[in-house]
Amino acid sequence: AHGYYFSGWKKCIHSSRDFSDMVFIENYIFNKDVFLQFNSTVGEFVGYTELGVYNARNWNNDPNILQQKRAEVDRYCKHNAEIRQAAIADKT
């Protein structure tokens, strides 16, 4: 009951039918506070606490990590949105 709480979530946001405005956001949460975030619009990690700034600095200096996160818009967001859109279109 008095331990630590770590979680995270990923979100894809878009309003266009062709997904051209798709944004990928990934939050890292410690004890219910977002301490680090990757936003594909920004293109790098942003830290909101001392721990988050430390991690953001390290991860932003690793081109492999940044390349992987920047690719999530296509790999994760657009891929899944296309599947869902096709499923919905088949029902209409």
Domains parsed from the chain with CATH numbers: 6-89 (3.10.320.10)
Q: What is the pLDDT of residue 91?
A: 67
Residue percentage of the chain with pLDDT more than 70 = 96
Q: What is the pTM (predicted TM-score) of this model? A: 0.86
Question: pLDDT grade, residue 3 (50/70/90)?
Answer: confident
Q: What is the mean pLDDT of residues 46-60?
A: 97
Q: What is the pLDDT of residue 17?
A: 86
Residue percentage of the chain with pLDDT more than 90 = 79
Helix (H, G, I), strand (E, B), or coil: what is residue 89?
A: helix
| Residue 5, pLDDT above cutoff 60 | yes
Helix (H, G, I), strand (E, B), or coil: what is residue 5?
A: coil
